[in-house]
Amino acid sequence: MSTSRRELVFLDSSLILRYFSGDPKAADVFESNYRYGLNSIVYSEVVFGLLRALYTEIAGRYSFYNMKKALKKPDTSPYLVKAYDIMYEFIGELKRENRLSFLQITYSGEIWSST
């Protein structure tokens, strides 16, 4: 990655999920001292990806409808909380290091952007 440490690198959900799954190349990105940005869409994609991984770990295979039913049961709702906790901890660490900015999603004419 050839960007200065002052530039903001936009984080994609796939990179964050690869980091959580133990991908060493994704870990290298976060071990650098870059500043990162993400928006609410990326945040929700990562939480859903974590929830999917946690459910698959428990159920043995993924089914959206079965996961949705399971989340309505009181004994499985802690998995949803765990997915948020994992992301919250990740974000908290980058925020404490002053390396993360949340970007607002805006609409201008026909173009969507993160600002």
Average pLDDT, the chain: 85
Q: Which of 5-14, 44-53, 92-101, 104-113 has the lowest mean pLDDT?
A: 104-113
Render pLDDT for 9-64 as a digit per residue (tens, 0 to 9): 899 999 999 999 999 999 999 888 889 999 999 999 999 999 889 888 888 888 88
* Residue type for position 101: S
Q: Stretch 85-113: mean pLDDT, rounded?
A: 84
Name which CATH class applies to 8-114: alpha beta
| Domains in the chain: boundaries | 8-114
Which band of pLDDT confidence, cut at 50, 70 and 90, is reported for residue 69?
Answer: confident
Non-local CB neighbours of 29 within 8 Å, separated by 6+ positions: 1, 15, 19
- At residue 2, does pLDDT exceed 70? no
Tokens of 80: 């949803």
DSSP state of 60: S
